[in-house]
């Protein structure tokens, strides 16, 4: 119970501090089962936003959750239909969340950039994010690492979890984006349940129990 309250407090605090575009949005957030660390969905007007954080992230430190949620909020806040993960990361850094995003990437097992869509897009890794920080932000990041007793290591085990899933409801269809790959389905009013199943080098995308497509993992 208390965890749920903390999550929604955290997300509203972030909106107040740095996401004026979303101040009118009705944002609901909860923990749950998802195939990625977080799933975010919104309708085109960003009036209703839903975020689900995977149960795995319940154990994350608040600093890492802050980084994750900043990235998620940057998706709808950019108000563009062509969402790139790199652009979303840069948006979160520009809004001042660089140190938290850096910490989050260590929790997510991304020391180096995570290349997706055969190099057309990427999630910034800890090292790239660090390079984007100004002096104050660097001091802040170092203080967070000390506080969390985190030692950044290139050997950080890459986690086999997708970073996040983006679901956009537009006028006549719902678009689902995972690791930069897009899948269009008939318009859903509710948030569809998106699961992924990995078989050898292929990830199958399953929406509400129905396979809607797949992508190859060999390029990352």
Site string for Zn ion, 132-171 (x = CB under 5 A): --------------------------------x-------
Instruction: Tell me which residues in 84-143 interact with Zn ion (CB under 5 A).
Output: 85, 88
> What is the per-residue DSSP string for 85-116?
HHHHHHHHIIIIIHHHHHHHHHHTT-SS-EEE
Least CB distance to Zn ion at residue 123 (A): 7
**Count of residues touching Zn ion (by CB under 5 A):** 3
Contacts with Zn ion, 33-72, as mask; x by CB under 5 A: ----------------------------------------
Binding mask 68-87 for Zn ion (x = CB under 5 A): -----------------x--
The Cα–Cα gap between 39 and 159 comes to 17
Please state the closest distance from residue 75 (CB atom) to Zn ion, in A: 6
Tell the smallest beta-carbon distance from residue 84 to Zn ion (Å).
9
Cβ-proximal residues to 77 (8 Å cutoff; 6+ apart), any chain: 19, 21, 22, 46, 91
C-alpha to C-alpha distance for 145 and 139, rounded to whole angstroms: 10
Helix (H, G, I), strand (E, B) or coil at 30: strand
3-state secondary structure of 79: coil
Alpha-carbon gap, residue 137 to 133, rounded angstroms: 6
CB of 6 to Zn ion, least distance (A): 22
Q: Catalog residues that contact Zn ion under the rule CB under 5 A.
A: 85, 88, 164
């Amino acid at each position: 119970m208390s965890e749920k309250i903390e999550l929604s407090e955290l997300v509203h605090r972030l909106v107040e501090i740095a996401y004026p575009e979303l101040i009118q949005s009705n944002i609901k957030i909860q923990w749950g089962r998802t195939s990625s660390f977080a799933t975010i969905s919104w309708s085109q007007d960003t009036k209703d936003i839903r975020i689900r954080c995977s149960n795995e992230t319940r154990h994350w430190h608040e600093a890492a959750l802050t980084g994750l949620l900043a990235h998620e909020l940057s998706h709808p806040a950019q108000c563009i239909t062509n969402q790139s993960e790199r652009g979303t990361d840069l948006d979160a850094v520009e809004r001042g969340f660089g140190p938290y995003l850096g910490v989050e990437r260590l929790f997510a097992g991304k020391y180096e950039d995570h290349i997706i869509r055969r190099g057309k897009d990427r999630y910034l890794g800890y090292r790239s994010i660090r390079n984007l920080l100004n002096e104050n932000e660097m001091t802040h990041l170092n203080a967070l690492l000390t506080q969390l007793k985190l030692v950044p290591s290139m050997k950080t085990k890459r986690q086999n979890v997708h970073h996040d899933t983006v679901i956009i409801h537009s006028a006549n269809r719902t678009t689902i984006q995972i690791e930069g790959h897009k899948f269009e389905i008939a318009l859903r009013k509710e948030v569809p349940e998106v699961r992924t199943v990995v078989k050898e080098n292929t990830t199958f995308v399953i929406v509400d129990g129905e396979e809607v497509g797949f992508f190859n993992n060999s390029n990352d």
